[in-house]
Structure 1
């Protein structure tokens, strides 16, 4: 298969690229770090192809991704996280986070969608943070909630073209992004665990690939409670 992964220079994206390459697939890895991409190409010659890309640059994204006409699976994984200090409310933070997590991801969708064929899979990587109103996570959680809604809506509109739209809702995964967190991260898993869960979910066409299972089910249950209860529970968790 031909697989394209954004945000593939580190964390979940890199592990997915490596695991798919080891399984014999051809992987296009997109990232901003030219050095990281070169290292992956050197380590997996003929299996991994690097594509230096900033997904927030629409014209560059349309040009570079538009050349890939035979993609079986596109995993749009690139994302950023920033936490809000409500006493120093910064609207620009929302712009930065949404510009990468939502607008940048949609730049990729626009570039790839015209070349998708029946049976192609579009995978949008979100987060379980969308499920509850977590403290300081307004920009990050909001962007992932938006991404989830977009994915479900695209699932309806792309059904007639027989294109699968899947989402990934990870809990805490040990990556450079979570290394910056200064709070407890329950049930944190490794990138190997995340990669295995995502690849199995994609193979099974799981609509929303949520992991770790126990953590995801717990948050999904809480998300069904009345909003006032959710706020009370989230306050205690904080």
Structure 2
């Protein structure tokens, strides 16, 4: 029986991924801060086991990963947060909060999980298409996801020598509790269930980079190939920040 651990499983994409893998007969460890929400997730299948801890507390992460009920074949690092910078303000408090969850929290999890990695382990990390093109207000979030992408691509160079497979996931807009808070248009948005299907299919096909939805991410990736000044001009014409 295949086994998977998923962080950020109490809502959104992680919640749908846990349900998907359980429906396929996988044993699932669903991780999150809220044991109550994880209990709701576990009600979908007896194959899902909850593991509650705060990703931003290194001691909690280390403790949780030292008491796993089984060693996963697939490690899905999905947990993340998003806040925006308004009026061109480099708000260090916002940047610190976002970086703490998206970058430091991920590093705590990777550090605690790595002793369990063996040849054949698959490590998947959810980034964002926002990491590939500078967008208004997204300085903290986009920078954090750019750091995630670079970190995993760098680690992958050494991990591949150990037989460890890596995948980075670059979603566009996905309907989740995080995007529910957004006050701007989100073109080509898909459901969390659709996102989980894209991810699961990409991982099954051993894709090292998973982009979706195809049209939206292709547009942003193409724009990212332009010189920076051209990128800024195009983005300023296409995207209007809310007042």
Task: Give yes or no for TM over 0.5.
Answer: yes
Question: Secondary structure at the residue paired with 2:189?
Answer: coil
| Runs of 4+ with deviation above 4 angstroms | none
Cα deviation, residue 87, structure 1: 5.3
Greater shift after overlay, 140-149 or 67-76? 67-76
Q: Contact between 1:128 and 1:219, CA under 8 Å: does it hold in 2?
A: yes
Greater shift after overlay, 88-97 or 188-197? 88-97
Question: Secondary structure at the residue paired with 1:79?
Answer: coil
| 1:70 is the counterpart of 2:71 | yes
Distance in 2, matches of 1:111 and 1:233, equals: 42
Q: Give TM-score scaled by structure 1 length.
A: 0.97
Q: Give TM-score scaled by structure 2 length.
A: 0.95
Distance in 2, matches of 1:192 and 1:58, equals: 30
Q: CA RMSD in A?
A: 1.1
Q: Contact between 2:88 and 2:137, CA under 8 Å: does it hold in 1?
A: no
Distance in 1, matches of 2:78 and 2:160, equals: 22
The aligned length equals 237
Deviation digits for residues 84-132 of structure 1 (CA, Å, limit 9, x no counterpart): 0245542111110000000001111011111111111111101001111
Q: Contact between 1:132 and 1:234, CA under 8 Å: does it hold in 2?
A: no
Give 5+ residue unaligned stretches, structure 1.
Answer: none
Distance in 2, matches of 1:154 and 1:66, equals: 22
Cα deviation, residue 66, structure 1: 2.6
Distance in 2, matches of 1:95 and 1:127, equals: 18
- 1:117-136 counterparts in 2 under 5 A? 117-136=118-137
Question: Secondary structure at the residue paired with 1:82?
Answer: coil
Give 5+ residue unaligned stretches, structure 2.
Answer: none
Distance in 2, matches of 1:75 and 1:13, equals: 9
